[in-house]
């Protein structure tokens, strides 16, 4: 008898798609579909038609954000960073003759916004959310021979539809996914830790299958450690939906200090055929929340030291490469951060992967507004007449699906510990109102709220919607608590909102912690959005029942801009280039266990009788030592040492001073004299534990360029930091020299970031001014190996060059 040879579905997938390609879809085999697109920023009639002539459109490689490539103008909305929006079209021609399997899908990680996707003139679907990931089955309209045309219309004509910068276009990855007729559903493989002891963990895997299931089909689940060794396995009869428990002996826990990851493999097997396979990273850990003792990870109580993050990166806009996110997250960890909040929408999948890898907790947030649009400032933050554009028009139709998709997409990340259904949807009179806002009932923010407005939407609606959204979250993932970030706590306390969620976030409401803890003893409370002030941290540090805070913000961001010229909001612990700012150094002194010492300076403030309160020590002082001889300078020290002293050229000019727990700052007033200024931190026994020094800088004399990597695989990204130096090799903090970047070899310049919030010039060329003596260049290497030279020049001073070697990616 002749033996029949065959290729399994999995073998065909591996043959036609590279093994290192991976979309967070949990089925089939994926390949990036980012190359070969064309784009036009115009609403072109008939652009969905296959025969449409797009030969004069601009070639682009996805991801692509057309807003950040546009011209800054005061005629654009301040809320979105004075950058343009509009309508655009994308088209891609491709052949499907070599697609090996029955089913072909197109998967978008994110399109901002109101997208319509066409294949060969047929509408595949529309998705209004700019942050949701979504998929379409292309199989019915795919030409297996001949040309195929994928066309995407993006409608961001509502230019002031967000309080923050959004970007415009297909700004996240696009994937081609191929599968057999029978496959796991989109995000159809999940897991949760059911029980955990040092001896054993029980991991419950849930699966969902689409397509006909052969009677002989088996579901094979395998859990492997980080060395590839199998630690648990299960073989059961396949079903449309099922839960299977895996028992893991001596489990290695995922923790913030040890973010250990397993690999979960799920396969559908029928006879000798593998119908589909999914692979997800898995972390075994437990979460616990208590109204009196706060939050515990793996049974150990932890204070959450979190920051709020938007999804842009300055000159890069909404297209933020993985390497940029990693550098930023590492800098946040360096100052003590252990958690992030995705303010205020789901973010790119790679961000969650990095948080899993780095041991950062994540509060994943779905919405900034629900059924009504919020005010959007268009002439500057809190200036003029706000616009009322937004996303509320599709909330009732899409809100429940959007939040469900967020949870299903992201639920396999052990870093996620909270699901947030909304941010400040209860802001008093924006739009909801309640009688509690009138008179003496409303304990804070009354001038801003303007009192009760009977004609405004009834605040009781908030509780109704919160219950609906929370039910969606719990149905998709019962293993984590639901939260919301409340802006009007006093008003929301009159509604069902706090009871609809499991953990209640308080935005800028530290003054209510103790009172509400007493009034609502079963309520779990934390700071979901907080200022970077010392008192806000003490409210967490000194109250066991408050488990943490999220600072506004972790990083400066585009949008929510002040009056022109202003790129965005400047409250970050890191600047737009991802560098640590003085307030980040102050935060490190509050949050870090290792010794911290930093000094910043500014002219001593003059008393002002018109001020209600005396001028306090600044928590945002830069480390500059260049002033007029004899000028009285305030020197502030951010430290976690018990005491500190100040020296100038080795001589004590500031006496040993104990740490001030009222302000968190040690300060001295000294007459300026050029030299080396140093602070030394000491413990209570008098032992020196830390120090920090700054020097008087001379005039700019040269540039110094430093690449974070001098060798990498082709297709990677390099950060090149440029500093303006004096003749002695010291940084010149006042250096604002114009710098030109030239790239030679297989690479291109993505952008140059000065971190200057008032720089409203051209962000897309190769000439930028330094700011505070620094500039950062983002260089993307090409697909070919070779040697790259990145050269920086500036008039009248010596330039600098770095050499980077790129290796073959395979």
CB atoms within 10 A of CB 284: 23
Query: Half-sphere exposure (CA, 13 Å, Cβ side) for 89?
Result: 20
According to DSSP, residue 69 is labeled: T
Sheet with strand 183-196: strands edge to edge: 183-196, 200-210, 241-249
Q: How far apart are CA 344 and CA 363, in angstroms?
A: 10
| Three-state secondary-structure class, residue 774 | strand
* The pair of three-digit structure tokens given for residue 296, joined into one six-digit string: 């515990």
| Residue with tokens 């500057």, as numbered in its chain | 380
| Residue with tokens 């001014």, as numbered in its chain | 769
Burial of 592 (0-12, 13-18, 19+ CB in 10 A): middle
537 neighbors 513 (Cβ within 8 angstroms) = no
Vertex 311 angle, CA 309 and 312, to 5°: 115
In 525-580 the beta strands, taken as DSSP E runs, fall at 525-529, 548-551, 557-558, 568-569
| Residue with tokens 């309209």, as numbered in its chain | 141
- DSSP run (H or E) holding 471: helix 460-476
**Angle between helical axes of 460-476 and 395-410 (0-180°, round to 10):** 40
According to DSSP, residue 578 is labeled: S
Task: Tell which residue, 479, 22, 40, 499, has the closest CA to residue 279.
Answer: 22
CB atoms within 10 A of CB 772: 21
- Residue 146 region by backbone torsions, left for phi larger than 0, else alpha for psi between -120 and 50, else beta: left
332 neighbors 386 (Cβ within 8 angstroms) = no
- For residue 32, whether the previous peptide bond is cis, meaning omega lies within 30 degrees of 0, is no
CB atoms within 10 A of CB 268: 27
Q: How far apart are CA 467 and CA 400, in angstroms?
A: 11
Sheet with strand 29-32: strands edge to edge: 29-32, 174-179, 103-108, 134-137
* The pair of three-digit structure tokens given for residue 310, joined into one six-digit string: 């938007």
CB-based burial, 346-357: b 16+ in 10 Å, e otherwise: bbbbbbbbbbbe
485 neighbors 420 (Cβ within 8 angstroms) = yes
| Catalytic site positions | 424, 529
Using a CB cutoff of 8 Å and minimum separation of 24, what contacts does 685-690 make?
689/595, 689/641, 690/595, 690/596, 690/597, 690/639, 690/641
* The pair of three-digit structure tokens given for residue 158, joined into one six-digit string: 């509502």
Contacts of 662 (CB under 8 A, 6+ apart): none
Vertex 222 angle, CA 217 and 223, to 5°: 160
């Amino acid at each position: 008898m002749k033996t029949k040879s065959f290729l399994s579905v999995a073998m065909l997938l591996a043959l036609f798609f590279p093994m290192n390609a991976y979309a967070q879809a949990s089925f089939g085999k994926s390949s990036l579909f980012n190359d070969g697109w064309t784009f036009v920023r115009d609403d072109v009639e008939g652009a969905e038609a296959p025969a449409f002539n797009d030969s004069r459109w601009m070639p682009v490689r996805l991801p692509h954000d057309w807003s950040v490539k546009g011209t800054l103008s005061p005629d654009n909305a301040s809320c979105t960073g004075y950058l343009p929006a509009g309508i655009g079209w994308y088209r891609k021609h491709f052949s499907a003759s070599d697609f090996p399997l029955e089913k072909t899908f197109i998967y978008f990680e994110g399109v901002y916004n109101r997208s319509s996707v066409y294949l060969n003139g047929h509408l595949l679907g529309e998705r209004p959310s700019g942050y949701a990931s979504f998929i379409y089955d292309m199989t019915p309209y795919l030409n297996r021979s001949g040309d195929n045309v994928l066309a995407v219309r993006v409608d961001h004509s509502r230019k002031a539809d967000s309080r923050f910068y959004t970007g415009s276009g297909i700004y996240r990855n696009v994937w081609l996914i191929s599968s057999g007729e029978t496959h796991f559903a989109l995000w159809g493989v999940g897991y949760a830790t059911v029980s955990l002891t040092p001896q054993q963990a029980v991991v419950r895997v849930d699966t969902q299958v689409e397509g006909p299931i052969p009677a002989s089909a088996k579901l094979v689940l395998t859990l492997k450690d980080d060395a590839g060794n199998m630690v648990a396995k299960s073989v059961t009869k396949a079903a449309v939906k099922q839960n299977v428990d895996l028992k893991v002996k001596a489990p290695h826990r995922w923790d913030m200090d040890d973010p250990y990851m397993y690999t979960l493999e799920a396969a559908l097997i029928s006879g000798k055929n593998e119908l589909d396979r999914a692979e997800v990273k898995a972390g075994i850990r437990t979460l616990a929340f208590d109204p009196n003792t706060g939050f515990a990870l793996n049974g150990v109580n932890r204070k959450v030291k979190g920051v709020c993050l938007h999804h842009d990166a300055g000159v890069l806009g909404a297209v933020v490469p993985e390497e940029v996110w990693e550098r930023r997250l590492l800098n946040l960890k360096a100052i003590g951060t252990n958690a992030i909040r995705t303010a205020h929408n789901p973010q790119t999948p790679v961000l969650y992967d990095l948080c899993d890898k780095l041991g950062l907790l994540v509060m994943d947030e779905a919405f900034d507004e629900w059924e009504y649009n919020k005010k959007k400032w268009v002439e500057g933050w809190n200036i003029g007449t706000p616009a009322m554009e937004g996303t509320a028009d599709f909330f009732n139709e899409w809100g429940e699906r959007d939040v469900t998709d967020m949870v299903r997409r992201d639920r396999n990340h052990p870093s996620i510990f909270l699901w947030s259904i909304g941010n400040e949807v209860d802001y008093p009179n924006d739009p909801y109102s309640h009688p509690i806002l009138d008179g003496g009932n409303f304990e804070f923010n009354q001038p801003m709220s303007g009192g009760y407005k009977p004609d405004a939407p009834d605040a009781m609606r908030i509780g109704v919607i919160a219950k609906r959204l929370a039910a969606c979250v719990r149905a998709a993932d019962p293993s984590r608590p639901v939260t919301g970030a409340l802006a009007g706590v006093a008003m929301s306390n009159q509604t069902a909102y706090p009871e609809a969620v499991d953990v209640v976030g308080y935005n800028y409401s530290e003054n209510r912690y103790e009172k509400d803890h007493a009034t609502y003893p079963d309520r779990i409370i934390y700071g979901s959005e907080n200022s970077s002030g010392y008192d806000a941290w003490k409210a967490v540090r000194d109250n066991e029942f408050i488990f943490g805070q999220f600072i506004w913000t972790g990083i400066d961001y585009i949008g929510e801009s002040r009056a022109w010229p202003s790129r965005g909001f400047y409250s970050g612990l890191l600047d737009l280039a991802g560098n640590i700012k003085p307030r980040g150094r102050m935060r490190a002194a509050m949050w870090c266990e290792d010794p911290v010492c930093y000094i910043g300076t500014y002219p001593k403030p003059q008393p002002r009788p018109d001020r209600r309160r005396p001028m306090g020590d600044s928590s945002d002082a830069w480390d500059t030592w260049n002033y007029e001889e004899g000028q009285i300078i305030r020197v502030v020290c951010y430290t976690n040492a018990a005491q500190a002293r100040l020296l100038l050229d080795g001589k004590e000019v500031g006496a040993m001073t104990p740490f001030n727990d009222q302000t968190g700052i040690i300060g001295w007033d000294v007459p300026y004299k050029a030299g080396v200024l140093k602070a030394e931190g000491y413990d209570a026994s008098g032992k020196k534990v830390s120090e920090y020094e700054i020097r008087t800088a001379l005039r700019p004399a040269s540039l110094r360029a430093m690449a974070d990597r001098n060798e990498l695989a082709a297709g990677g990204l390099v950060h090149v930091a440029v500093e303006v130096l004096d003749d002695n090799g010291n940084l010149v903090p006042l250096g604002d020299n114009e710098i030109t970047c030239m790239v030679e070899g297989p690479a291109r310049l993505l952008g140059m970031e000065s971190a200057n919030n008032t720089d409203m010039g051209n962000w897309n060329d190769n000439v930028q001014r330094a700011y505070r003596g620094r500039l950062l260049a983002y260089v993307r290497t090409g697909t070919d190996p070779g040697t790259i030279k990145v050269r920086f020049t500036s008039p009248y001073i010596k330039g600098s060059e770095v050499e980077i070697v790129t290796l073959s990616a395979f």
